[in-house]
Amino acid sequence: MNWGVDGVTVVLGGSEVLHDVTLNAIPGQVAAVVGGDGAGKTTLLRTLIGRILPSSGAVRAPSIVDSGFMPTGASGVWTDLSVNENIAFVAAARGMAGPELADRRAELLAAAGLSKAADRLAGDLSGGMRQKLAFCLAILHRPRLLVLDEPSTGVDPVSRVDLWRLISRAAAADTAVVMSTAYLDEAERAATCLVLDGGRVLADGTPADVLAAAPGTLTTGSAPAGPAELSWRRGHQTRSWHPGPPRPGEQPRDPDMEDCVIALTLDAQQTGAA
């Protein structure tokens, strides 16, 4: 069974926050949802897990017992409880106990590098450790659908690698994983990638499909090649973008996922403004 949403439109506070969005979550795969601030990522994930009702469209999700959700910013963690107590609390709510719980807790804490921190207050953990604990809480009951809202935002690069390993392990165990991310290198490693802007889907498919959908022409130089609002810094270089095919003498470069998402967003803005 594949999970996901079909053609959902969501209206919040009188504004349309998602428009006709379709997302597929396939067991054994990671689906990444990317887009700028306010694109609608959190709303999409919350719709998928049944916390927001769409005004039209359909949601295909397992029962709450088979779903796991990690809200953004490790807000699913109780900071005044220890790591073990957090796990015991969620386990009680999930009806887990005894050797099954002990084995699962040992396995998850080891995989997350938290075994030695089991008795520490969650509020005293580093940001990355707290995110990893939040992940363990979301996946404790082996959900069939795991939904993660920006699991690695604000986490140091080493913890990001750890989190990605945990996410890949979950998918390898045949869980359907949907995650929003601000890190486009993570989106590039997902099986599928959905690019949102202003509540609309700009591109969707495998990372290769999304890269192939990059509109316009991208160039690299030491300074903007056109209007400042169509240029951005990447390391020591400046990327410049314009709609349409390359102009005479231009040397276009292939976009990576970050360039591609920016180009898609600029193109949508131009189309919207036209």
Binding residues (CB under 6 A) for ligand ATP: these are: 12-13, 15, 17, 35, 37-43
Nearer to ligand ATP (CB atom), residue 4 or residue 40:
40
Q: Tell the smallest beta-carbon distance from residue 265 to ligand ATP (Å).
A: 12
168 SS3 class:
helix
Nearer to ligand ATP (CB atom), residue 68 or residue 71:
71
Q: Tell the smallest beta-carbon distance from residue 57 to ligand ATP (Å).
A: 16
Please state, as a whole number, how many other Cβ atoms lie within 10 Å of the Cβ of residue 24. Answer: 18
Q: Report whether 163 contacts 132 (CB < 8 A).
A: yes
What are the beta bridge partners of residue 32? 179, 193
Q: How far apart are CA 25 and CA 14, in angstroms?
A: 28
Nearer to ligand ATP (CB atom), residue 41 or residue 130:
41
Q: Tell the smallest beta-carbon distance from residue 198 to ligand ATP (Å).
A: 8
C-beta nearest to ligand ATP: residue: 13
Q: Tell the smallest beta-carbon distance from residue 249 to ligand ATP (Å).
A: 38
**Exposed, middle or buried by CB within 10 Å (0-12, 13-18, 19+), for 248?**
exposed
Nearer to ligand ATP (CB atom), residue 40 or residue 128:
40
Strand order from edge to edge, sheet including 176-180 = 67-70, 145-149, 176-180, 30-34, 192-197, 200-205
